[in-house]
Structure 1
């Protein structure tokens, strides 16, 4: 029996698609954003506690989260019970921080990554023998989806801009006790984007801001008040890949969704302000607004 342990959205997208593509006996320890992601893809799921899974598990397969400690607890539980544990990293930034629990580095038996860039990065940080290169099941699913898109799905109602919001300040606050640890916040990035629209040659367009799963309701209502002359909507009620498919331009900071958009051959822009951190995404297709 394989036990899937997941909380944050990025890892949940990968692991839910892994389950869909790899038939086996599974049980699930899910919390937070992972619950609706798994349910939408796999249907009704019985969710168990970590303690309930110990006696009948021969492998734990986890994501990595900044919002929750559940994956780290799964690693500790597996190690204590002599059960193999594997963690699939879903991004290209903050690798070592993903495995700190109460100031101690807690590593699984194997770390899986889904592309060559992530593989080289992980090998430079972790013991070589535990890092494994695997196909990314989420990206494989998306490639298939975008490949089979019929012409005409993009909207004919004008130029459509999708802004992928990220909970940068909360992440930095929880991880480093400083919401400006990376030199900027999500608010800074959004304001920087609007101040530099001319660099992107956007004369007019429709703007959709997609909140992060960890964002509180109403967090981005200030955008509607500050920029009343722009046609703006705030929505994450439809799947990410559908919003991307209907967009002409996808903007964010360093969300995995920017990589998804590049897979869909969309124009992709990172709007990390000049005072912010170095862009952690490796894909060359992503344009940095501050470099224009």
Structure 2
């Protein structure tokens, strides 16, 4: 397994993260480094991840105060909070080197702007070649480094190859679209309904079972209108404890643009993007992703 880049950073090290994406990528690196001089400031979705990964390193104090005496500040780049941005502001004010991990493939410069003020890090970390190329193109003045994606490696470790799975099951990974794309129905419902309408055009065996996996933020019963125990295809809720368990029994995976699709690609599954033709373009750049909107008109 590749060594954690955190192992060689000047200490003490302050890590600040809020959104789940960066936390899932950063905190395994913190855990693997095994350094006693790392303090993690986590809030929002990252808090539970930090408790599971690096409980002994958690610090509930003011991250700005900790940064004043730090050697390095490492942050995520989420949108849902000012925690990470404020940590970079503090790092700049105290002359502390700051590193920011970007866990997606879009809006690179925008992630470092709040209220019209840009605070760039001293280094950007990414975890794949697509993101590395985009970071170098969008923020050329900041050095970019590709670091190991331990989270992705954990998710796919030990999963069976799809060709060894006997049952004909497709995993549909739902996620809130937070947009209606000019129509009255939430985007996630439009995408699922459009996907079901395109099933006859896909070379999938029959009978087929679709296991529908709601997003963690979805309320119970959100997708009940789509469920059908009897029919073709059979559509049931996925009851797996985690994504890895859900992928273990699926030969095919579908969804809009969740990171779960990236995990499924890494696990060798055939993966369909279900964004309909009237929706915005998918932001996942991965070449093996099958975009249903590009397969031509429905038959």
Q: For residues 69 and 114 of structure 1, what CA distance do their matches in structure 2 show?
A: 23
The answer on 1:2 being equivalent to 2:13 is yes
Contact persistence 1:58–1:84 (CA under 8 A): yes
| Local SS of the residue matching 2:138 | coil
Unaligned runs of 5+ in 1: 173-178
| Local SS of the residue matching 2:275 | coil
TM-score between both structures, scaled by the size of structure 2: 0.80
Instruction: Mark the CA change 1:80 to 1:167 in structure 2 (over 3 Å): closer, same or farther.
Output: farther
Contact persistence 1:224–1:232 (CA under 8 A): no
Return structure 1 stretches of 4+ with deviation > 4 angstroms: 149-152
Instruction: Mark the CA change 1:21 to 1:161 in structure 2 (over 3 Å): closer, same or farther.
Output: same
Q: Partner of 1:240 in structure 2? A: 243
The answer on 1:93 being equivalent to 2:106 is yes
Contact persistence 1:27–1:47 (CA under 8 A): yes
Q: Partner of 2:198 in structure 1? A: 196
1:220-231 paired onto structure 2 within 5 Å = 221-228=221-228, 230-231=234-235
Aligned length: 274
Q: Could you give the per-residue CA deviations for residues 127-152 of structure 1, whole angstroms, max 9, x where no partner exists?
A: 34432233333234445x14xx4689
Unaligned runs of 5+ in 2: 1-11
1:36-185 paired onto structure 2 within 5 Å = 36-43=48-55, 46-49=58-61, 50-142=63-155, 145-146=157-158, 149=159, 158-169=167-178, 180=181, 185=187
Contact persistence 2:195–2:274 (CA under 8 A): yes
- Tell me by how many angstroms 1:13 deviates: 1.0
User: Structure 1 residue aligned with 2:263, among 257, 260, 277?
Assistant: 260
Q: For residues 277 and 161 of structure 2, what CA distance do their matches in structure 1 show?
A: 37
Q: Partner of 1:176 in structure 2? A: none
Q: Partner of 2:39 in structure 1? A: 27
Q: For residues 205 and 104 of structure 1, what CA distance do their matches in structure 2 show?
A: 52
Instruction: Mark the CA change 1:187 to 1:99 in structure 2 (over 3 Å): closer, same or farther.
Output: farther
Q: For residues 160 and 52 of structure 1, what CA distance do their matches in structure 2 show?
A: 51
Q: For residues 169 and 190 of structure 2, what CA distance do their matches in structure 1 show?
A: 22
Q: For residues 161 and 181 of structure 2, what CA distance do their matches in structure 1 show?
A: 42
Note the aligned Cα RMSD (angstroms): 2.8
Task: Identify which range, 78-87 or 16-25, moves more after superposition.
Answer: 16-25
Q: Partner of 2:208 in structure 1? A: 205
Q: Could you give the per-residue CA deviations for residues 221-275 of structure 1, whole angstroms, max 9, x where no partner exists?
A: 242124445432155x622222222222111122222111111111111111111
